[in-house]
Copies of this chain bind each other. A is one copy, B any other.
């Protein structure tokens, strides 16, 4: 009541994002048109276009407003346990229904639209990877990891196979699989070959 300026504007913004999620869940991102979202939200098309320049960026906002909090890295002192916590949380949220398919669609859209790709990187991927790297760095400082451990590569080996399963082979992301990846990175693949390690 006494709240003023952006109260109705913010309300409409939320209603539009909510309507976008509803439409996407019911009919898929392919059917997510500005017209459909506006109708669902009980809003004029202008009101949508005033806020987002394309359906891709609207969809990005809608998906990222889900629960991207709760994906921060804890620090219990055990790097592997902490990574397992954040990896299971993230995959449970973004790798399964109901939001998994939408996150999949979002990454798919990023492959077609450079603006979506840039915004997704800047607003979600980069902070998340930076957070992982910071946590790994802390573990190294605490002596849990060797000084020459390749932190960047470790982060990419922890993330890559999960995205590979989500996007390419479309297999389910189980906790057991996360444990296998963690084991590979922090206990080694034990190849025991004659490979001397030279590139």
- Residues on A facing B (Cβ under 8 Å): 28-30, 79-80, 104-105, 107-113, 117, 121, 125, 129, 139, 144-146, 148-150, 153-154, 156-157, 159-165, 167-170, 176, 179-197, 199
CB-nearest residue of chain B relative to A170?
Answer: B117
Q: Which 8 pairs show the lowest CB-CB distances between chains A and B?
A: A108-B111, A160-B160, A187-B197, A179-B199, A160-B161, A160-B164, A146-B192, A188-B188
Residues of chain B within 8 A of A189, CB atoms compared: 149-150, 153-154, 157, 185-186, 188
Complex: A197 Cα to B190 Cα, angstroms: 11
Copies in the complex: 2
CB < 8 Å: which of B145, B150, B160 contacts A163?
A: B160
CB-nearest residue of chain B relative to A197?
Answer: B187
CB < 8 Å: which of B29, B186, B187, B190 contacts A148?
A: B190
On whether the beta carbons of B185 and A144 are closer than 8 Å, the reply is: no
